Structure 1
Amino acid sequence: MAHATVEWTANLEGKFDRPALLRLIADEMRLRSDGVFPVGGIRVRAIRLDEYVIADGAEPRDAFINIDIKMGAGRPAEFRKAFFDQMFAAVRAELGDLFDREPLALSLYVEEAEGWKHNTIHQRLSRTA
């Protein structure tokens, strides 16, 4: 399991390639985790935030993109550090000059989660492999 939720402020509408960012995060988890994240458990979603306050609220251009990642417990600390350092760098590169064009805060938080799930996507993937 690796689920990513990308929150972004509405004032960034049309200023970055959201589908490309979501695909990048999914591809990072799928292609660069050396199988640590099972492909069938990867989820990436975006939530546009229409109501928010940033800093002192004085600058309407202030914006943020926050990425929250939940993953099952047990991944080694060394893996988490190396993988998410690299992912954060890839996300920053994907956003390119957005940091120069807009007052922008980017954050990435990772949480180990315990949960209950039922997923038949793994079966579909094993049949097509």
Structure 2
Amino acid sequence: MPHVIVEYTDNIAAEARMPELLAAINGVLIAQGGVFPTGGIRSRAIRLTDYRVADGAEDDAFVHVTLKIGSGRPEEVRKKACDELFAAIKDHFAELFARRYLALSMELIEFSEGGTYKHNNIHARFKKA
């Protein structure tokens, strides 16, 4: 963990540069000083084709990011990570935001580790010898 899910409307697909956004998201999480194990970070983008924004009268767009993490991290650690992550998202979309109607949002979901199942050999690659 963490897992990041980026949902975005297909009316911005050509300009969204999702591979770059996912790289930036992972970079922010890795830069948190070991708060999130690098081998557990997963980010993905889901292009939405069925959606409606507001009254549907304009070609409105949105990007919603969900950050899922295991519980137990202090509030200040969670806030720092979320603040930096949302800043990176806003920076990524700044030009598009200036040109069109666009809603950006993010939510943090914490869950109990007792309800998750994991089998991951990627962590070993990042263990310090």
| TM-score over 0.5 (shorter chain) | yes
- The reply on whether 1:23 has 2:23 as its aligned counterpart is yes
- The reply on whether 1:112 has 2:110 as its aligned counterpart is yes
What does residue range 25-104 of structure 1 map to in structure 2 within 5 Å?
25-31=25-31, 33-59=32-58, 61-104=59-102
CA offsets, 1:23-63, max 9 Å, x none? 000110012x110100010000000000001111111x100
Q: CA RMSD in A?
A: 1.4
- 1: CA distance between counterparts of 2:123 and 2:29? 16
Q: Which amino acid aligns with 1:49?
A: L
> Quick one: percent identity of the two aligned structures?
47
Unaligned runs of at least 5 residues, structure 2: none
CA offset at residue 16 of structure 1? 2.4
- 1: CA distance between counterparts of 2:16 and 2:109? 26
CA offsets, 1:98-120, max 9 Å, x none? 11111000001000123121111
Q: Which amino acid aligns with 2:66?
A: D
- 2: CA distance between counterparts of 1:9 and 1:16? 10
- 1: CA distance between counterparts of 2:19 and 2:10? 15
CA offset at residue 126 of structure 1? 2.8
